[in-house]
Amino acid sequence: MNLAASIYDLKLLVQSFHPIIAMETVEEERVENVLKGMTRELHIPLFEWTVNRGLYLSPGSKFAPQLNECTPDSGNPMTVYENTQKPLDMLCHLETLNRKAVYLLKDFGGYLKDDEVARQIRNLARLLRKNRGALVLTGTALELPTAIAHETVFYDLKLPGRDELYKVVSEVVRSLNQRKQQVKVELQDHELKELVRALSGMTLIQARQVVAYAALEDGKLTAEDINRILHRKAQVIQADGLLEYFPASENQANLGGFVGLKQWLKRARVGFSSEARDLKLPPPKGILIVGVQGCGKSLAAKTIAREWRLPLIKLDMGRLYDKYVGESDRNFRRAVTLAESIAPTVLWIDEIEKSLGSTDSGGSDGGLSRRLFGAFLTWLQEKSQEVFVVATANDLTQLPPELLRKGRFDEIFFVDLPDEQERAAILTIHLRSHHQPLETFDLPRLIQATHGFSGAEIEQAIVSALYRALYLKQALDTDLLILEIESTVPLSVSRREDVEHLRTTARSRFVDVKTGTRQPPTP
């Protein structure tokens, strides 16, 4: 979302008698910028409060002293009100001011537990509704008492949009040049767009830091810096702990077989085109891949991202769960917001049944699983950004029926054990990846020996055989590989009943990744 849209949204909230606005964010700078823009348009003052300074007119806002951008913040004049450092004293002072204004209270969440503070906020809410002003509460986590919650609207400040990120690049270059650290911008228009797109998903501070680092490293901004920025973004997302980021440039996934799925994906990709938008067609939501463990479901997610040349984000739903009330829901919102900010992208949710499949747990988790499941379905149904979801599942029995309803996903695919042609492709891929000459192996014999094996089991057999060959100090050959294959008990044998039940059930209900069709049910 761009800055103008955020200003418009907040202006509507203030004008529509919302006395308390809560914003959970670490980006204080953006909150200040949005509120300054909003109060200028409304022609009202903006006040800020911090526990160390007290209450003061926000520098650079309406009615405040003019802000000199060339002067450090400490050197700019500031109108500070005395005896307003303590939260209750400040709130009482606001009541005496009795004016139409917006008051930004930073890091205020911890003080809301005080009964006197909560009471005074309720008193102010009545006054602010009358004056069409607002208290804006910010912090990384705001837990509101019940008495205040019904007066409060939460505003989700999205991560910076493309317009703000363009501005960051310009400001960083200008700032460095003013400090006589000359930076040359050697980017064509399309390369600049790619660089800004690489910054998507970062906060303004993170974007400013990574652009400055790239520019100072060699004194210029070039197309080569795009990959450096993507690498840094991967580190930032990883540090957040909710998502894993795989840049498109580093995705080397190679998937054998799955002809039906690949054909469907070619058709689906048209949904992201301008022609589809002209026809008012929504972009593809995503797919669910159900099947036997180790048969390439996860690899399919990586391959989709590689084929479409999009970054891949992995969401581990288990990381969303938190022992504190409300934190899990907040984690989910943060994860999907980050995914949308990086769009277009592929969002991979592995083994979705383990995190969203236990919604009938009888309330043993306080209804958390059902809330997260409902939030996920709502987001999947209503998301407008180009985030293509690839969810995988091993256990069909744990999947809630709501997830399988037509319209949740664009299609549901079934991955069976690989047939002879697919086993040949899998053997070829993994032998080549370990620098083994194919001509020295009896491929038909290996194909026959791996009947009933999953792709993962074939790969592991090759790895184990290579270790054995190194130990014996000899080259890997067919006999040695056959020996390893015969000593492996595949899942189709050790869990025969479960695997056969899954195959029988899914074949007639979902689309086969090999053929792109659904098999008719057995009479």
pLDDT tens-digit series, residues 161-171: 888 888 888 88
Higher pLDDT, 240 or 487: 487
First to last CA, the chain: 53
Q: Is 53 helix (H, G, I), strand (E, B) or coil?
A: coil
Cis amide leading into 437 (omega within 30): no
**pLDDT higher at 356 or 276:** 276
* Averaged pLDDT for residues 367-375: 77
Of 49-58, 73-82, 268-277, the range with the lowest mean pLDDT is 73-82
Question: Do 480 and 469 touch, CB atoms closer than 8 A?
Answer: yes
**What pLDDT does 247 receive?**
73
| Residues 6+ away with beta carbon under 8 Å from 354 | 317, 318, 398
Mean pLDDT of the chain: 83
C-alpha–C-alpha distance, residues 254 and 427, integer Å: 12
pLDDT of residue 446: 95
Taking residues 207-230, report their average pLDDT.
84
pLDDT (tens digit per residue) in 470-488: 999 999 999 999 999 999 9
Q: Is the confidence at residue 359, as pLDDT, over 80?
A: no
Winning range, highest mean pLDDT, from 66-70, 121-125, 170-174, 176-180: 121-125
Q: Which of 15-24, 52-61, 381-390 has the highest mean pLDDT?
A: 15-24
Q: What value does the mean pLDDT take over residues 53-78?
A: 65
Q: Per-residue pLDDT for 6 more than 80?
A: yes
Q: Give the pLDDT mean for 56-64.
A: 78
Residue 36 has pLDDT above 80, yes or no: yes
Q: Tell whether the torsion through CA atoms of 404, 406, 409 and 411 is positive or negative.
A: positive
Of 406 and 440, which is predicted with more confidence? 440
**How many angstroms separate the CA atoms of 360 and 364, rounded?**
9
116 or 273, which is more confident: 116
What confidence tens digit (pLDDT) does each residue in 181-213 have?
A: 677 878 888 888 888 888 887 888 888 888 888
pLDDT for residue 171: 85
Weakest mean pLDDT among 227-231, 432-436, 455-459:
227-231
pLDDT of res. 216? 84
338 or 137: which leads in pLDDT: 137
Residue 254: per-residue pLDDT? 65
Q: What is the DSSP string of 264-277?
A: HHHHHGGGGSHHHH
pLDDT digits (tens, 9 = 90+) for 337-352: 778 877 788 999 888 8
CA 436-297-251 angle, to 5 degrees, is: 60
DSSP per-residue codes, 92-150:
HHHHHH--S-EEEEET-GGGGGSHHHHHHHHHHHHHHHHHT-EEEEEES-----HHHHT
Residue 461 has pLDDT above 60, yes or no: yes
pLDDT greater than 60 at residue 407: yes
Q: What percentage of the chain reaches a pLDDT higher than 70?
A: 89
Domains by residue range for the chain, with CATH? 3-154 (3.40.50), 164-240 (1.10.8), 281-412 (3.40.50.300), 420-488 (1.10.8)
H/E element, 62: none
Q: pLDDT tens digits, residue range 276-329?
A: 888 888 888 899 998 888 888 888 888 888 888 888 888 877 777 664 556 777
pLDDT tens by residue, 256-269: 668 888 888 888 88
28 versus 296: the higher-pLDDT residue is 28
pLDDT band at residue 34 using 50, 70 and 90 as cut-offs: very high
Output the pLDDT for position 71: 46
Q: Model confidence at 72, in pLDDT bands (50, 70, 90)?
A: very low
